[in-house]
Amino acid sequence: MSSELVINVTDEEIRVALLEGGQVVELYIERKRDASLVGNIYKGKVIKILPGMQSAFVDIGLDKAAFLYVADIMTDLEEYYTAFLENDHEKIDLYEKTEITPDKSVPIEDLIQEGQELLVQVSKDPIGTKGARVTSYVTLPGRYVVLMPNVDHVGISRRIENEEIRTRLKNIALEVRTKNYGLIMRTASEDATLEEIKKDYDFLTLLWENIYTKKDRVSAPSLLYNDLDLIFRSVRDFMSHDVERLLIDSKEEYDRIVEFAGSYFPRILEKISLYEDREPIFDALGIELDISRALDRKVWLKSGGYIVIDQTEAMTVIDVNTGKYVGKESLEDTILKTNLEAVKEIAYQIRLRNLGGIIIIDFIDMEKAENREKVFSSFVEVMKKDRAKNTIYNITELGIVQMTRKRVRESLGRTLSEQCPYCEGKGFVKSPRTVAYEIFGKIRRMNLQRDTTVVISANPVVAELLSDEERQGLEGIERKYNIKLVVNKEDNLHQEHYDISIL
């Protein structure tokens, strides 16, 4: 399937869309006021060790301290690679695998101490209330290779399946690397020449040596290396042989990309194009519509069924419904067709929205085991296109699929939206009648003196209800307690809030 990369640049933000067959499958947004920190390298200082959590807080000069897990200090190569894997979404096979750290039973307080200075790299951006996650093992991705200066091994991307090519790349890697630096051959290296790979490696080696030298000249906390911006990262990471075109709407950034590619990746120069039409690029290609749909809670299927996506703090729940689709055959066939149609849309929405962490999918119940297996197999197959690492567990008798997906940055919804200030994230508010009855209950508990005047200030909707439909309730309280109740409308009051005062 043909792919293209579309980049929209404004004064406020950069948006990068990866299209497959003309449809947006991945979207990356970087606002210039809030650029990603992933890949940045810092000289930090340990400010607090948490033995019970086997982790530590590290000051790297940000508003929130970074979080360092013990697994990011003592790790084998598979885990060491995670920091790169989570952002580049490639998988590797390792050669000359070498354990580089002590037994995992060693407590974190025996590995680092408070006040100690560390060289760390951001592996996850701050998400919500959490600070950035950092690792003490550095990865420096280039176009064709990834340099890992702390370990001694060679790895090959598993996306390269041809054994002859894999053997050739392994031999090239062993030939070009120096100082026993670790080296991963990326998918883009599949058709790269020895000279191109060596040039990439030499650049990364020089970059690392400059970073390491700078470390000794500065005090913690300090930024040692700022990773490429979203535009250059996209060129580096996405412009594989199956991406036919890069289209960008900024002449200034187009010139930068051409200069950058000309210096490091000349073979992709012919794929880079400048968009010059008057209609905004995302509008012309229908991308704005896809972004709008990606913020909706309910997504309709072509058959008339729909899925509902609810994102919570800990997980995302996706529910499948038949909706308007009634089918033409048996109920089981109708359910199966709806579930199979939902499979493709769910996989698409997971990638587009960048949903991460725990994901629970509730397909419509199917009586036949073979139908459940068919839906599950279809979902596993379509999720193979996902660049992010994911693990999918077998479907249950109730049609529920559990999965996990690597989360490095905020989801699209969290990036473009914020918690509703009115409902405070609950998704609902108390009804006016419920609030009215709460007011009645509170007045009854106030132990008021006879002939007292009580003023109720409430949201206009609640005040209107009290003065109209619930007027009989007010009058009943007035008679019972021999008091006078006055209702005031307050436009600035939340529907759930009210004030009761005594004159």
Specify burial of residue 228 (Cβ count, 10 A radius: 0-12, 13-18, 19+): middle
74 inside domain: yes
Instruction: Give pTM, 2 decimals.
Output: 0.72
| Secondary structure class of 79 (helix, strand, coil) | helix
User: Which tens digits make up the pLDDT trace of 255-308?
Assistant: 999 998 888 778 888 899 999 999 999 999 989 888 888 888 899 998 888 999
Same domain, 275 and 171: no
Same domain, 385 and 458: no
Q: At what angle do helices 460-467 and 471-481 cross, to 10 degrees?
A: 70
Same domain, 211 and 247: no
Same domain, 260 and 127: no
- In 3D space, the residue among 429, 421, 411, 430 whose CA is nearest the CA of residue 311 turns out to be 411
Considering 184, 203, 226, which residue would you say is the last residue of a domain?
Answer: 226
pLDDT of residue 463: 95
Look up the CATH number of the domain holding residue 464: 3.40.1260.20
User: Which tens digits make up the pLDDT trace of 419-441?
Assistant: 788 877 777 889 999 999 999 99
Same domain, 55 and 182: yes
State the SS3 of 393-443.
Answer: CCCCCCCEEEEEECCCCCCHHHHHCCCCCCCCCCCCCCCHHHHHHHHHHHH
Q: Rounded to whole angstroms, how far apart are CA atoms 298 and 470?
A: 36
Range of the structural domain that residue 496 is part of? 432-502
423 inside domain: no
Q: Two tokens at 434?
A: 């419920």
Written as tens digits, the pLDDT of the chain (503 aa) is 678 999 999 888 899 999 988 888 888 888 877 778 888 999 999 999 998 888 999 999 988 899 998 888 854 444 444 444 444 445 555 444 444 444 456 788 888 889 999 999 998 888 777 889 999 888 898 888 899 888 888 888 877 888 888 989 989 988 888 878 888 988 888 888 888 888 888 889 989 989 989 988 999 999 999 888 888 888 887 876 678 899 999 999 999 999 988 887 788 888 999 999 999 999 999 898 888 888 888 999 988 889 999 988 778 999 999 888 776 678 888 889 999 999 999 999 998 888 988 999 999 999 899 999 999 999 999 998 887 888 999 999 888 999 999 876 777 887 788 778 887 777 788 999 999 999 999 999 998 899 899 999 999 999 999 999 999 999 999 999 999 999 999 999 999 999 999 98
Q: Rounded to whole angstroms, how far apart are CA atoms 373 and 392?
A: 13
Q: Rounded to whole angstroms, how far apart are CA atoms 367 and 185?
A: 47
- In 3D space, the residue among 321, 138, 154 whose CA is nearest the CA of residue 227 turns out to be 138
Specify burial of residue 441 (Cβ count, 10 A radius: 0-12, 13-18, 19+): exposed
* Domains identified in the chain, total number: 4
